[in-house]
Structure formats: C-alpha cells, structure tokens
C-alpha cells in the first residue's frame, strides 16, 4: 500500500517493512534475531526450521525493493550472541545495500561486531523532516518513524469472532512499524480520532 506523509511517498509492505523511494531506503523494526534460538535453548518446542523464517523474509523484502539502504529501527537482535549471529553474518555479506542499525533496548551485542560487518550504528537518524528512532518520540516539526511497541489491532466480527493482526499504527506526527520478526507478539492498540490503522494480512496491507 502506498501512503503519503506531507508530500513524501512511502510503501507499506505486508512483511511489516516500509520502503522510502526518495531515499531508496527500506525501514524494518524489531526483527529480534536470536529469539527463536534463545527459546529453543530453554526448552520451547519451536522447530529448528523456524530460525530461517526471519532471514528468508528479510531477503524477500530486499530483493523486492532493491534498496540502497536498509535501516533497522532497533531490536535487531533479541539478546546476547547465539548461533543466529553466524547466519546474520552470512546474510549481511550477501547484501549490497548500506545497513544502518538504530540501537534499541534489546541491542546489547557489542557495537564492534556490527562495525566489523560494515554496519553503521546510530542512536537516531534525522532525514529532512523525518526522525527515525526505536522508541516512539514526539518532537516539534518532525514526523517520527519508530518500532518498539509491536502494534496490533483486534478486528471483531458480527458474532464473537475476533482476529488479531499486526499493523502499522499512524498517528498525526508518528508511524509505528509492526514487529518484523517471527514469534515477537503484538501489543493491541486503541486508535483515537485522527489515527490510521494499516493492518497486515498474509499478502496485503489493508487500511481499517
């Protein structure tokens, strides 16, 4: 789905990523690499094959948009190093895009390891009137893109049926991206007047 903010065009992708054509940049929030391996280590019955899901989805998005820059809006990794770091190294080495990480609260891995892979680490990024952060921020005169809260929306049917979907949550001066990673969960938001919800299904984005 294409949306405009001011006079700038953005594309919302069903993966939860956003493409910014003017900057040739893909923005992705809350991948939480390593979380599945962490859960498996402590006995959760998650198939080993599930680990590949996040990397496959990343590759699909990058292949689709062919961006010059990939900006992760924090929580790229869930916690400390585990076996998924090696998979991430291999994935990065296959990318031609510049990779930027805006550090999130879960990003506790040494910055030197990211630097060795050529990844630029920032606390925040300001491009024109757009502020890119991990935690949602409100600053006068700026529109904020962020992650962190893993927004979702509950849709209710005419009976007792309901369905929870991840979503892009747009407020007057802010757009919060859904969590990109598998097994990350959702925080159900309650939109106010003037807000917009772009729900994500398996293969499309739908404004609610």
The encoded tokens of residue 180 equal 């990109």
Which helix (H) or strand (E) element contains residue 40?
A: helix 35-41
Measured CA to CA, the distance from residue 20 to residue 141 in angstroms comes to 19
pLDDT above 90: residue 189? yes
Pairing of strands 98-102, 120-122: parallel
- Span 144-156, mean pLDDT? 94
* Nearest alpha carbon to residue 1 among 170, 150, 151: 170
Domains, the chain? 2-207 (3.60.21)
Residue 80 pLDDT = 63
| Mean pLDDT for all residues in the chain | 89
Residue 32 pLDDT = 87
Residue 102 pLDDT = 96
Residue 146 pLDDT = 98
Write the DSSP string, 119-150: -EEES-EEETTEEE-SS----TT-EEEE-SS-
Measured CA to CA, the distance from residue 12 to residue 127 in angstroms comes to 19
For residue range 7-62, list pLDDT tens digits in order: 999 999 999 999 999 999 999 999 988 765 555 554 554 556 667 888 899 999 99
Pairing of strands 174-176, 143-146: parallel
Task: Kindly report the backbone phi and psi dihedral angles of residue 146, in degrees, each rounded to the nearest multiple of 5, phi listed first.
Answer: -150, 175
Contact 100, 120 (CB under 8 A): yes
Q: Which residues pair with 162 in a beta bridge?
A: 156
Sign of CA dihedral 66, 106, 145, 15: positive
For residue range 92-115, list pLDDT tens digits in order: 999 999 999 999 887 888 889 999
| Number of alpha carbons in the 13 Å side-chain half-sphere of residue 185 | 6
pLDDT above 70: residue 5? yes
Query: Where do the H-state alpha helices sit in 71-190?
Result: 84-93, 111-116
For residue range 191-200, list pLDDT tens digits in order: 999 999 999 9
Residue 36 pLDDT = 57
Q: Which residues pair with 170 in a beta bridge?
A: 175, 196
Residue 47 pLDDT = 52
- Span 127-141, mean pLDDT? 96
């Amino acid at each position: 789905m294409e949306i405009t903010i001011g006079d700038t065009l953005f594309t919302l992708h069903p993966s939860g990523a956003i493409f910014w054509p003017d900057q040739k940049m893909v923005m992705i929030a809350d991948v939480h690499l390593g979380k599945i391996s962490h859960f498996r280590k402590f006995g959760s019955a998650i198939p080993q094959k599930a680990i590949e899901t996040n990397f496959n989805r990343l590759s699909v998005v990058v292949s689709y948009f062919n961006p010059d820059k990939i900006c992760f809006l924090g929580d790229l990794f869930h916690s400390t190093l585990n076996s998924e770091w090696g998979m991430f190294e291999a994935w990065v080495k296959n990318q031609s895009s510049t990779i930027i990480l805006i550090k999130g609260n879960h990003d506790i891995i040494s910055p030197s390891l990211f630097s060795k892979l050529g990844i630029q680490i920032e606390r925040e990024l300001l491009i024109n009137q757009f502020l890119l952060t991990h935690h949602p921020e409100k600053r006068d005169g700026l529109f904020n893109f962020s992650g962190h809260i893993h927004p979702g929306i509950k849709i209710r049917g005419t009976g007792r049926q309901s369905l929870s979907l991840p979503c892009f949550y747009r407020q007057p001066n802010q757009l919060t991206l859904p969590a990109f990673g598998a097994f990350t969960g959702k925080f159900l938001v309650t939109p106010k007047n003037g807000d917009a919800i772009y729900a994500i299904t398996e293969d499309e984005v739908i404004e609610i």
